[in-house]
Chain A
Amino acid sequence: MSASAAGHRRTVLEMQGVDKTFGGDVEALRAMSLTVNDGDFISLLGPSGCGKSTALRLIAGLSEPSGGRIVWEGGHEIGDLGVVFQEPTLMPWATVADNVWLPFRLRGHSYNEVRDRVLEALKLVGLERFQKSYPRELSGGMKMRVSIARAMVTNPRIILMDEPFAALDEITRFKLNDDLLMLKDRIRCTVIFVTHSVFESVFMSDRIVVMAARPGRVVRELSVDAPYPRTEEFRTSAEYAALCRSASEALREAMGEHA
């Protein structure tokens, strides 16, 4: 079950045998290799402690690998990466528009220069009416949308998402899952999505990387060949149920190795 669907796509980023140890004895990640192709929606699925968040931080450049390499095809610059954390991570003193402006602001662009792009991003997440609101005036799901808008605003090649919807209620999460797929289709970016939900990973991704803990490592990769756009119909289909079952099995195997 390799990523056959991704065969014809260009490579964006490659993790080559990446290790990460903390304090010399905690092995957070061992020999992780992953080829990220243009347009992939990759889920990193695994129990806590399997190094999925560590992998994300390494790709984001927030920490350095202890061994191995992470290579961006053709190099990369700052705007090539967008990140959405588990928390919305908005600046409470800044309006919604100012929060989305941040990536540009840090590169010295005035608001007027980039206003159209900021508003465009807000429109994509359905919040253009709230550009002048402050984060505290928004619901949890809306804050997450602002966070997504900020991650997309620079037109990044890769968006990293670290369990972005874990703290939301199920109804909001389903809605955001749908909207995220629609957005990805619209802006044609690559997504690496960390989750511990089998259902979420199957619904969202075309590649599922199953990881295990102690040491954190990749144990299997599944591909989900169902075509996009995926809708509510897919969520109730037999195909979806079968995929969930095999992903669950893979995950159980991954956890069983050390249970």
Chain B
Amino acid sequence: MTISDPTRAAQATPALTLDAEDRARIRRRKLERTGAWALPVGLLALFVLGWDWLVVANGIPHFILPRPGLVASTLVNDWPMLSSALLITMQITMMALAVAVIGGVGLAVLFTQSRLVEMSLYPYAVILQVTPIIAIAPLIFVYVDSHIVGLLICAWLVAFFPVLSNTTLGLNSADHNLQDMFRIYGATRWQTLRYLRLPTALPYFLGGLRIAGTLALIGAVVAEYVAGTGGTGAGLAFRILEASYRLNVPRMFAALILIAVTGVVIFVVLSFISHLLLRKWHESAIKREA
């Protein structure tokens, strides 16, 4: 039999004796695994210490550069205000991302179903993407009364393009022989889309989604700077703006940290979702032995 059982082969490996090269590789892998988190954390600690030393040694006033400890305590003391602002920013980001996914995937599917639609609309999608959001945002707030809707439109404008272009690429990447196979078995357009094009596009879409997630946050923040309205609907960007008028630099830092953390969380969550969906079959999610 030419059939070999991969699981059995994998189980058999540890029983073999390791040579010097193997041992070196294992050591290197261990080092890399620890280093992946230990090095950035160590660097952060050094950075914070250096920052603190810089402020103390030069007697910099806290309205120019606060000590890290002060930023931390501001984060705690202002938490009620900052957390509600964080919630608003998160909501805008998530909603924009959701609309970007629906709009991007929907439009991409439409593109692959009709060349005419693609030819008509694609140039405009590109124009929207290459025009900086900061330049469009003021106009949007002229025409849109609702603060939230305006923010949403801005964030969506930035976020939807990577989803659209990646998904379109993915939908058009279906294997030609498989397309023939589907034709031979009399697949309908819908079946080809459902069982062939969409699964092919999934890894491409997820790549676009990761970019779109962080872009949606950027869009939401930029739009809020432009909109500049406060009150109950104020997000993190507005809190930064407001704090800068009051020379409340510690709060600016605190809000900035929250935005950065939010961005990282979005990226990590989307990467994790991507890994879960692809780990069984896609090359990107598969660890190679040796």
Taking A61-B183, A135-B281 as known contacts, 17 extra A-B pairs with beta carbons closer than 8 A to each other, sorted by chain A number, are: A78-B185, A89-B175, A89-B177, A93-B282, A102-B181, A102-B195, A106-B182, A106-B186, A106-B187, A106-B191, A106-B195, A107-B185, A126-B1, A126-B3, A129-B5, A134-B280, A136-B281
Give B164-203 as 1s and 0s: 1 = Cβ < 8 Å from A's Cβ atoms. Answer: 0000000000010110111111110001000110010010
29 A-B Cβ contacts within 8 A?
A: A60-B180, A60-B184, A61-B184, A78-B185, A78-B186, A81-B184, A83-B184, A85-B177, A85-B181, A87-B177, A89-B181, A91-B196, A92-B282, A93-B202, A93-B280, A102-B181, A105-B195, A106-B185, A106-B191, A107-B185, A107-B186, A127-B3, A134-B280, A134-B281, A136-B281, A136-B286, A137-B6, A139-B2, A172-B2
- Does residue B4 face the partner (Cβ distance < 8 Å to A)? yes
B200 to chain A, nearest CB (A): 8
Given the contacts A136-B281, A136-B286, A172-B2, A103 and B185 also touching, CB distance less than 8 Å: yes
B76 to chain A, nearest CB (A): 47
How many A-B pairs with Cβ below 8 Å?
69
A155 to chain B, nearest CB (A): 14
- Does residue A175 face the partner (Cβ distance < 8 Å to B)? yes
Counting contact residues on chain A (CB < 8 A from B), the size range is: 20 to 34
Counting contact residues on chain B (CB < 8 A from A), the size range is: 20 to 34
Cα–Cα distance between A141 and B180 once the two chains are bound (Å): 22
Cα–Cα distance between A129 and B8 once the two chains are bound (Å): 13
Q: What are the residues of chain B within 8 A of A78 when measuring CB–CB?
A: 184-186
B262 to chain A, nearest CB (A): 32
Contact of B2 among A89, A105, A106, A175 (CB under 8 A): A175
Cα–Cα distance between A78 and B1 once the two chains are bound (Å): 33
Cα–Cα distance between A172 and B3 once the two chains are bound (Å): 10
Are the CB atoms of A93 and B281 closer together than 8 Å?
yes
Give residues of chain B (1-32) contacting chain A, Cβ–Cβ below 8 Å. 1-6
Q: What are the residues of chain B within 8 A of A134 when measuring CB–CB?
A: 280-281
Q: What are the residues of chain A within 8 A of B281 when measuring CB–CB?
A: 92-93, 134-136
Cα–Cα distance between A130 and B7 once the two chains are bound (Å): 11
Cα–Cα distance between A43 and B192 once the two chains are bound (Å): 31
Contact of B183 among A62, A85, A129, A141 (CB under 8 A): A62
Cα–Cα distance between A172 and B2 once the two chains are bound (Å): 7
Q: What are the residues of chain B within 8 A of A142 when measuring CB–CB?
A: 2-3
B6 to chain A, nearest CB (A): 6
Q: What are the residues of chain B within 8 A of A87 when measuring CB–CB?
A: 177
Are the CB atoms of A171 and B280 closer together than 8 Å?
no
Question: Which residue of A is nearest B280, CB measured?
Answer: A134
Q: What are the residues of chain B within 8 A of A172 when measuring CB–CB?
A: 2
A117 to chain B, nearest CB (A): 15
A212 to chain B, nearest CB (A): 26
Cα–Cα distance between A78 and B187 once the two chains are bound (Å): 10
Question: Which residue of A is nearest B183, CB measured?
Answer: A62
Q: What are the residues of chain A within 8 A of B1 when measuring CB–CB?
A: 126
A134 to chain B, nearest CB (A): 5
Contact of A91 among B184, B185, B199 (CB under 8 A): B199
B142 to chain A, nearest CB (A): 46
Q: What are the residues of chain B within 8 A of A92 when measuring CB–CB?
A: 281-282
List the 8 shortest-distance A-B pairs measured between CB atoms, nearest first.
A89-B177, A78-B186, A106-B185, A93-B199, A106-B187, A93-B281, A85-B177, A103-B185
Interface centre among A92, A94, A127 (most CB of B within 10 A): A92
Give residues of chain A (51-96) contacting chain B, Cβ–Cβ below 8 Å. 60-62, 78, 81, 83, 85, 87, 89, 91-94
Interface centre among B2, B186, B191, B199 (most CB of A within 10 A): B2
Q: What are the residues of chain A within 8 A of B2 when measuring CB–CB?
A: 139, 141-142, 171-172, 175
Cα–Cα distance between A83 and B283 once the two chains are bound (Å): 27
B275 to chain A, nearest CB (A): 15
Give residues of chain B (236-274) contacting chain A, Cβ–Cβ below 8 Å. none
Q: What are the residues of chain B within 8 A of A171 when measuring CB–CB?
A: 2
Cα–Cα distance between A120 and B248 once the two chains are bound (Å): 74
Give residues of chain B (208-236) contacting chain A, Cβ–Cβ below 8 Å. none
Question: Which residue of A is nearest B176, CB measured?
Answer: A89
Cα–Cα distance between A142 and B4 once the two chains are bound (Å): 9
Cα–Cα distance between A136 and B178 once the two chains are bound (Å): 16
Interface centre among A62, A85, A93, A103 (most CB of B within 10 A): A93
Cα–Cα distance between A61 and B2 once the two chains are bound (Å): 34
Are the CB atoms of A62 and B184 closer together than 8 Å?
yes
Question: Which residue of B is nearest A61, CB measured?
Answer: B184
Q: What are the residues of chain B within 8 A of A89 when measuring CB–CB?
A: 175, 177-178, 181
B150 to chain A, nearest CB (A): 40
Question: Which residue of B is nearest A137, CB measured?
Answer: B6
